[in-house]
Amino acid sequence: MVILQRAFEPGEANLAERIEQTFHLNGWGRSWRNGIYSFHHYHSTAHEVLGLYAGEVNVLFGGPNGRTATAKAGDVILIPAGVSHKNVGQSPDFQCVGAYPEGQIPDMQYGRPDERPQVDQDILSVALPVVDPVYGKSGPLLEIWA
């Protein structure tokens, strides 16, 4: 998981639209607007990006014994396929835009024993993104995941 702090200017008018348009221009589509589920889940068939346009959230990554991180409006969270995430607390106004790399369709997994070994194979076959969802072809995501 990677958090890009202040990737967008918090408080900017129409921030949700700007985040969504930026993701789409950079090939991250299938977008939605909402929050983050309050139960452990992950995607074995797609990477995910979350752009926060309002409020603040605490997210637990990596399952019950994982790491909690805080993100605020203007931040972007990049979640590789296979990384569990769960909302463990948020401000009342928290909202985000989510999206996935072109050609990747997310599934919903919960960490149950019967998901394996198929999800392990699925995760290994998910291609790395070729475009950073915020900065395009020369963004930090590409350097981090190279």
**CA nearest neighbour of 5 among 59, 78, 86:** 78
CB atoms within 10 A of CB 58: 16
For residue 146, being part of any structural domain is answered with no
Residue 118 CB contacts under 8 Å (≥ 6 apart), including other chains: 44
CA–CA separation, 41 vs 43, rounded Å? 7
| Contact between residue 109 and residue 51 where contact means Cβ atoms under 8 Å apart | no
User: For 94, phi and psi rounded to 5 degrees?
Assistant: -60, 135
Q: Is 107 exposed, middle or buried (0-12, 13-18, 19+ CB in 10 A)?
A: middle
For residue 47, being part of any structural domain is answered with yes
For residue 42, the domain's CATH number is: 2.60.120.10
For residue 145, being part of any structural domain is answered with no
Q: Could you tell me the residue range of the domain that residue 134 belongs to?
A: 2-140
Q: 111 by DSSP, 3-state: which?
A: coil
Tokens of 49: 């990006």
For residue 56, being part of any structural domain is answered with yes
pLDDT band at 141 (very low <50, low <70, confident <90, very high): confident
Tell me what pLDDT residue 132 has: 97
pLDDT digits (tens, 9 = 90+) for 52-87: 999 999 999 999 999 999 999 999 999 999 999 999
**CA nearest neighbour of 75 among 5, 130, 145, 15:** 5
| Contact between residue 67 and residue 2 where contact means Cβ atoms under 8 Å apart | no
Residue 53 CB contacts under 8 Å (≥ 6 apart), including other chains: 8, 15, 16, 19, 73, 95, 96, 97
For residue 111, being part of any structural domain is answered with yes
For residue 104, being part of any structural domain is answered with yes
pLDDT for 2 beyond 90: yes
Q: How many domains does the chain have?
A: 1
pLDDT digits (tens, 9 = 90+) for 79-137: 999 999 999 999 999 999 999 999 999 999 999 999 999 999 999 999 999 999 999 99
For residue 131, being part of any structural domain is answered with yes
